[in-house]
Amino acid sequence: MNKDSGIKWLFLDLNSYFASVEQQENPALRGKPVAVVPADTDYTCAIAASYEAKAYGIKTGTMIGEAKKMCPNLHCVVAQHRPYVEYHNRIIEEVGKHIPINKICSIDELSSRLPPSKRNIESAQIIATKIKTGIQQNIGSHIKCSIGVAPNSLLAKIACDMKKPDGLTFISQEDLPGPLLGLNLTDIPGIGFNMHKRLNKSGIYTMKDLWNTDPKHARKIWNNVQGERLWYWLHGYDFEPPETKPSMIGHSRVLDPEKRDYNSAQHMARQLLLKAVYRLHNHTLIAQHLYFSAHIKNVGRWNKGINIYATDNIFFLLEQLDDIWNMMRLDLHKNCSNITMLKFKKISISLHGLTHKEDSTKDLFLHNINDSSCKKALREQNLFAAMKKLQNKYKSDVVTLGLPPKTNSGDIGTKIAFSRVPDIEEFWSE
């Protein structure tokens, strides 16, 4: 662990990101109160609000029925996830021109460990200005960001949150704990409703209390090492937690009402598996467990998970999925004479038991290069690599496996998660 007076990290957060992209794309929305919603109904909540809407007290999570009472002129826009990911990719490219990016934290947040020669306020100020100007000029004048600079990435994020929109805030080691003492405990990333209650129970009510507690005590309150880490980060230490990998990769899809027949459902299952395998490849992971579930009208949920040899081979996984599908067909046959009449409401696919490819022992099928199954596996690997290449080149599903069913939104199984940015390939289905 390393503690000195220098600032080391820059954290960037895009302001009201989804709403800003909407305003950038549609000039008629600029300067207006905008709420981005998942569906066109009053019985949903805002997933983003423009600053004009925030002035009325509308924020992420506000119910739209309520929001319209707070602001009768509110413009509700149904989220279009594809442009959010496209803007995200362009912004990452722009920021990358000015600093190395260490972590893309979410669709609208990233952090950068500043190069040693730039770890001073003057240099960081120049970099932050270049990033802001670059985004304004090359991405869009309505895309704004706040930037925080501090000794570690948690403090940089806290600094970033202190001024929105369009802020630039520094916290240096010598300032501590000054700027933190005015915050509420729940302003700290990692302290939510339940943790706040636990802190109160342990006699910690203010940031000053938290600052003055013992790091081992923090660990005890959290009941894990995260509490101790947080304490050291708040005190300005710079260290990275051990890298974690996703525990599962999965996709699910509620089928469009006109695409709920048996064949469309099977095609959808295959497409969702293909998407999951693309992500598996992007993380250089292999999976040891395949799980499938289907919600069927008047039948309920049918699900099955199977253990497989560790693989990222799409053709092998598709064969396994076909086996599962056949098991389901036989099962359904017991109670239903004509399974083609069944209506599939939702299909889910997930891959579990993930390990890094380099950590695993070599693929069993690739041990003997002369073996015919090995040659087949190699051919399949090459074919999949060629498919990915074509996708990258043409930015669309030019090559796919099985017939992709058309859906109303066009995007199969992909939705925006704040903690995970979908790969743009996940939107390639039209």
CB of 427 to Mg ion, least distance (A): 21
In the complex with Mg ion, which residue's Cβ is closer, 17 or 427? Answer: 17
228 binds Mg ion (CB under 5 A): no
Size of site (CB under 5 A) for Mg ion: 3
425 binds Mg ion (CB under 5 A): no
108 binds Mg ion (CB under 5 A): yes
13 binds Mg ion (CB under 5 A): yes
Q: Could you tell me if 174 and 5 are in contact, meaning their C-beta atoms sit under 8 angstroms apart?
A: yes
CB of 188 to Mg ion, least distance (A): 17
- Work out the angle at residue 318's Cα, subtended by the Cα atoms of residues 313 and 320, and round it to the nearest 5 degrees: 100
Number of H helices, E strands in the chain: 14, 13
CB of 102 to Mg ion, least distance (A): 18
In the complex with Mg ion, which residue's Cβ is closer, 18 or 233? Answer: 18
CB of 17 to Mg ion, least distance (A): 5
- Please return the burial class of 130, using the count of CB atoms within 10 Å of its CB with bins 0-12, 13-18 and 19+: middle
In the complex with Mg ion, which residue's Cβ is closer, 92 or 121? Answer: 92
Listed residue (105, 280, 308, 70) closest to 190, CA to CA: 105
Cis omega (within 30 of 0) for bond into 83 = no
CB of 430 to Mg ion, least distance (A): 28
Count of beta carbons in the 10 Å neighbourhood of residue 335: 9
In the complex with Mg ion, which residue's Cβ is closer, 13 or 426? Answer: 13
Segment interacting with Mg ion, rule: CB under 5 A, options 2-10, 60-68, 104-112, 129-137: 104-112
CB of 27 to Mg ion, least distance (A): 22
In the complex with Mg ion, which residue's Cβ is closer, 142 or 275? Answer: 142
Segment interacting with Mg ion, rule: CB under 5 A, options 7-15, 191-199, 212-220, 372-380: 7-15
In the complex with Mg ion, which residue's Cβ is closer, 16 or 173? Answer: 16
> Which of the residues 15 through 54 are near Mg ion (CB under 5 A)?
17
161 binds Mg ion (CB under 5 A): no
Segment interacting with Mg ion, rule: CB under 5 A, options 86-94, 103-111, 168-176, 284-292: 103-111
The two three-digit tokens of residue 56, written as one number = 């009325």
Angle between helices 17-25 and 81-96 (to 10 degrees): 100
| 49, 148, 189, 200, 286 from 219: Cα distances, Å | 36, 27, 16, 15, 33
The two three-digit tokens of residue 265, written as one number = 């459902």
In the complex with Mg ion, which residue's Cβ is closer, 17 or 51? Answer: 17
Alpha helix positions (H), 185-243: 193-201, 207-212, 215-222, 225-234
Strand spans (E) along 320-417:
344-352, 355-356
What residue is closest to Mg ion based on CB?
108
Cα–Cα distance, 20 to 283 (Å, whole number): 30
CB of 372 to Mg ion, least distance (A): 53
Cα–Cα distance, 225 to 233 (Å, whole number): 12
Q: Is the Cα dihedral 241, 242, 247, 250 positive or negative?
A: positive
CB of 145 to Mg ion, least distance (A): 8
Residues that bind Mg ion (CB under 5 A): 13, 17, 108
